[in-house]
C-alpha cells in the first residue's frame, strides 16, 4: 500500500461511519495530511449536515492549523467534492477558498449535478488533482448510491432464514408471529443490516402470517422505510399498519415494476425479506445484487415451505458463524 492508498483507506474507514444515516447522500470521508501526518479528518454524518470536507477542514482548524498551512497540505477525499448548491454550499468551492494546492480523490461522483464538475472546478483553480486512488474500494463503499444513479434502481439485498433441511417456514402455524429458525445473535445481525439499508419490503402473505415489525429494535440506528406488496386490503391490526409511520402499500406487481416504483420514491437500497414467493420472483427476474442466507444448522422442519433457490451466476462473498447458525452472503456475478 503506497502513501496515497494509505490515506485513502483512512477516508473509506471514516466514510463507513455514516452507513445508514446519510440517505439520500453518499458516504464520504476526508483527511488532510501535512508532512505525512493527518492534521484533520471528517466524514458526512447525515443529509443537511456538513459534508466530509467541511468537517475535516474544521477539525484541522480546531487543532490550530491555518489556511497558510493548507497550501502545503494534501486533501484526500473518497468521493469527488460536490460542485452544486444543495442543502449545503459546494465543497469544491470551500477546498479552493481554503488554499489547498493538492487534492487526491478516490472516485468520481455519478450524480448528474456533479459528474466531473467538481474536479473541473479544482483544476480550473490550478489545484493539482489526482483521481482513482483505491477507486474499486471507493465505488464498493457507495454501491447503493452508485447503483441508484447509474442503473436507476435501488441496490437489492435478498434475505431469508432457512432450516438445515432448506425450509423457510412450517406448513401450519398456531400463532400470528414468526417461527424462529435462527438464534438471537443472527436476529440481532439482521437488525444491524436493516439499520444500514434505506428500505425493507415483504409480500402480503408474510405481513399477515408473521405480523412483523421490520424495525431495528435489537440494534441502534434508523428504521428502514417499510413496504408491503399487496393486491388486497390488509388487516388494520398489523404492526406494519399501526403507528404514525405505517408501511407503504404497493399493489401486486412484477419485480421490475416494484423496483421502478422504489426508484421513483428515491430508495437507494432495499432488503427483500419475504416471503419465499416474493424473493423467488426477484431471483427469477435477475433483479438482485446480494443474497443474505441465514441457516439454522440445528433446526429441522422435515416438511414446510421450501426456501428460495438462487439462480444464474453468483459467488460466495463471505460466511459468518453466529454460534450454530451460519450466514452466507452471495453476490450476483
Torsion region of 126: left, alpha or beta (phi above 0 gives left; psi -120 to 50 gives alpha):
left
Indicate the Cα dihedral angle 298, 303, 304, 305, nearest 10°: 90
Active-site residue identified among 41, 53, 162, 197: 53
* Helix 255-264 and helix 276-285, axial crossing angle in degrees, nearest 10: 90
CB 186 within 8 A of CB 294: yes
- Name the one residue in this structure whose C-alpha cell is 408501511: 247
Q: Which ranges in 142-197 belong to alpha helices (H)?
A: 143-151, 184-196
DSSP secondary structure of 77-101: EEE----S-SSS--HHHHHHHTT--
53 belongs to the catalytic site: yes
Cβ count within 10 A of residue 126: 9
What is the Cα–Cα distance from 114 to 84, expressed in whole angstroms?
Answer: 7
DSSP state of 57: H
- Name the one residue in this structure whose C-alpha cell is 490515506: 7
CB 27 within 8 A of CB 146: no
Indicate the Cα dihedral angle 320, 326, 332, 333, nearest 10°: 70
- Give CA 192 to chain center in angstroms: 12
Going 79 to 84 to 87 to 93, the CA torsion angle's sign is positive
Beta strands in 3-138 (DSSP E): 29-34, 37-43, 74-79, 102-107, 128-131
Residues annotated as catalytic are 53
Amino acid at each position: 500500500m503506497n502513501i496515497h492508498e494509505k490515506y485513502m483507506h483512512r477516508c473509506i474507514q471514516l466514510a463507513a461511519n455514516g452507513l445508514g444515516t446519510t440517505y439520500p447522500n453518499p458516504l464520504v470521508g476526508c483527511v488532510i495530511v501535512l508532512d505525512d501526518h493527518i492534521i484533520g479528518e471528517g466524514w458526512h454524518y447525515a443529509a443537511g449536515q456538513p459534508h466530509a470536507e467541511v468537517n475535516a477542514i474544521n477539525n484541522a482548524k480546531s487543532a490550530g492549523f491555518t489556511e497558510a498551512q493548507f497550501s502545503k497540505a494534501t486533501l484526500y477525499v473518497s468521493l469527488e467534492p460536490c460542485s452544486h448548491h444543495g442543502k449545503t454550499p459546494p465543497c469544491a468551492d470551500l477546498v479552493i477558498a481554503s488554499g489547498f494546492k493538492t487534492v487526491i480523490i478516490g472516485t468520481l461522483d455519478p450524480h448528474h449535478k456533479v459528474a466531473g464538475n467538481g474536479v473541473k472546478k479544482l483544476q480550473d483553480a490550478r489545484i493539482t488533482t489526482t483521481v482513482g486512488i483505491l477507486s474499486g474500494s471507493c465505488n464498493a463503499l457507495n454501491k447503493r448510491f452508485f447503483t441508484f444513479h447509474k442503473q436507476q434502481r435501488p441496490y437489492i439485498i435478498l434475505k431469508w432464514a432457512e432450516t438445515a433441511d432448506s425450509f423457510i417456514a412450517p406448513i401450519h402455524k398456531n400463532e400470528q408471529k414468526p417461527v424462529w429458525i435462527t438464534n438471537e445473535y443472527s436476529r440481532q445481525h439482521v437488525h444491524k443490516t436493516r439499520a444500514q439499508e434505506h428500505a425493507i419490503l415483504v409480500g402480503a402473505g408474510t405481513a399477515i402470517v408473521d405480523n412483523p415489525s421490520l424495525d431495528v429494535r435489537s440494534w441502534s440506528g434508523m428504521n428502514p422505510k417499510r413496504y408491503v406488496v399487496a393486491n388486497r386490503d390488509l388487516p388494520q391490526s398489523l404492526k406494519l399498519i399501526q403507528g404514525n409511520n405505517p408501511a407503504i402499500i404497493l399493489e401486486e406487481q412484477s419485480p421490475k415494476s416494484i423496483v421502478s416504483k422504489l426508484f421513483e420514491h428515491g430508495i437507494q437500497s432495499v432488503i427483500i425479506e419475504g416471503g419465499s414467493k416474493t424473493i423467488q420472483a426477484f431471483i427469477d427476474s435477475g433483479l438482485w445484487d446480494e443474497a443474505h442466507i441465514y441457516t439454522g444448522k440445528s433446526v429441522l422442519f422435515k416438511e414446510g415451505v421450501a426456501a428460495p433457490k438462487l439462480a444464474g451466476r453468483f459467488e460466495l462473498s463471505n460466511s459468518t458463524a453466529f454460534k450454530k447458525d451460519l450466514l452466507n452472503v452471495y453476490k450476483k456475478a
